[in-house]
Amino acid sequence: MSGSANPGPDLTVVVATGSGAWAVRMVVAALAAQTVADRIELVLRVDPGTEIGLLEPWLTRFAAWRVIDDEPVGIVDEATGLAALTAETEFVSIVEDHALPDADWAETMLAVARTHDDVGFGSGIANANPGSLLSHANYMLAYSQWSDHAPGGPTDWIAHHNCTFRTEALRNVDREIYPKLFNREGSIIRHLRDTGGTFRAVPEARIRHINPASWSSTWALRRNVGRFYGANRAEAEGWGPLKRGMYVLLGAAIPRLRYLRERHDIFARVPHLSEPRRSPALMLGLTMDAIGQMIGYLAGPGGSRALLERFEMDRAAHLGPEDRKMFYPDRP
């Protein structure tokens, strides 16, 4: 399914969901409100049979739009990565179904991308739902280094979500390994960097990210992020039982040590957040993460990768009632 209502596009934006049109309504509306919406090709990656009638009021505002629904979305990162290869423009952006670009985001990103030779451009990430302790905890741990208040310019790493790539750079990646590079670790960024690509932070191209804000979801997310990290670290560094046990015994100190080590950088990148007021949120997130790390050191990754891959599928399920009503009013 496809359509075209305006002159040719300059930027392709890929949005994926396995939950239905209601899950992408807010992001599609935000993209349709772009100052250069008539220069955007929208690619919707959805499950077979997904009804998109809910989105029709916005689709005519784009230069072109397409639906890819040949198979179930499965792992969102892989699905968006493969959909990005179908872009018909010089640049392609991947935007999550729980990320809302400011109205000048695309125009700003295009202006920067066209005047630099980098292969990837990172957006400035703001917290879309700052009304809860848990939202701040998840935002600071996941996105503070790419905050809309962080410095712009050359950087050695960008978030692999809500970013923009030079389409040719993606097409030059070996197709045999390409799908698996779009994963939780952001291996596509490492691969592009290791093959000579450079990146640029564009904090003025702002996207507002909807962060998990329920206790159960935050506990599941932070615990499994920590477990995945701890298990991978122990495996990669060849830790034996003695070293694993030692790190578990020292685990209670991890949150405090990480806070002391990282607090300056985190709060420097989010200067609009008061450290005295927000430090409890950061400590809470670090504590949950540390518990997960200890589990990973002792018991390995378990199902942490699979859970983290599924976690991005339905952001509404990870919000409190007020946020859910605000951002996903059409959720069944």
In this predicted model, what pLDDT tens digit does every residue of 26-69 receive, in sequence order?
A: 999 999 999 999 999 999 999 999 999 999 999 999 999 999 99
Residue 166's DSSP bridge partners are 91
**Res. 139: pLDDT tops 70:** yes
Q: Which of 187, 209, 43 is nearest to 123 (CA)?
A: 209
pLDDT at position 8:
76
> What's the pLDDT at 1?
61
CA torsion sign for 193, 197, 198, 204 is negative
- Say if residue 301's pLDDT is above 90: yes
Indicate if the pLDDT at residue 71 is higher than 60.
Answer: yes
d(CA 297, CA 234): 6
Q: Which of 14-18, 240-244, 319-323, 328-332 has the lowest mean pLDDT?
A: 328-332
- Residue 4: pLDDT above 80? no
Instruction: Tell whether the model's pLDDT for residue 332 goes beyond 90.
Output: no
- Contact at 8 Å (CB) between 151 and 203? yes
pLDDT in tens, 80-130: 999 999 999 999 999 999 999 999 999 999 999 999 999 999 999 999 999
CB 45, CB 15: distance < 8 Å? yes
User: In this model, does residue 214 exceed pLDDT 60?
Assistant: yes
Q: In whole angstroms, how far apart are CA 71 and each of 49, 78, 109, 224?
A: 10, 12, 31, 28
Averaged pLDDT score across all residues of the chain: 94
Instruction: Count other Cβ atoms within 10 Å, centred on residue 215.
Output: 12
- Alpha-carbon separation of residue 41 from 36, 68, 97, 231, 296 (angstroms): 11, 13, 16, 40, 42
Beta bridge partners of 154: 200
**What integer pLDDT is reported at residue 23 of this predicted model?**
94
Structure confidence by residue, pLDDT tens digits, 261-295: 999 899 998 888 889 889 999 999 999 999 999 99
Average pLDDT over residues 193-204: 98
Neighbours of 86 (CB within 10 A): 15
Residue 194, classified by CB atoms within 10 Å of its CB into exposed (0-12), middle (13-18) or buried (19+), is exposed
User: What pLDDT sits at residue 178?
Assistant: 96
Candidate CATH numbers 3.40.50.740, 3.40.50.920, 3.30.230.10, 3.90.550.10; the one for domain 2-139+148-209: 3.90.550.10
Mean pLDDT, residues 300-324 taken together? 92
The domain spans of the chain are 2-139+148-209, 215-327
The mean per-residue pLDDT over the stretch 186-197 comes to: 96
Round to whole Å and give the CA distance between 15 and 45: 6
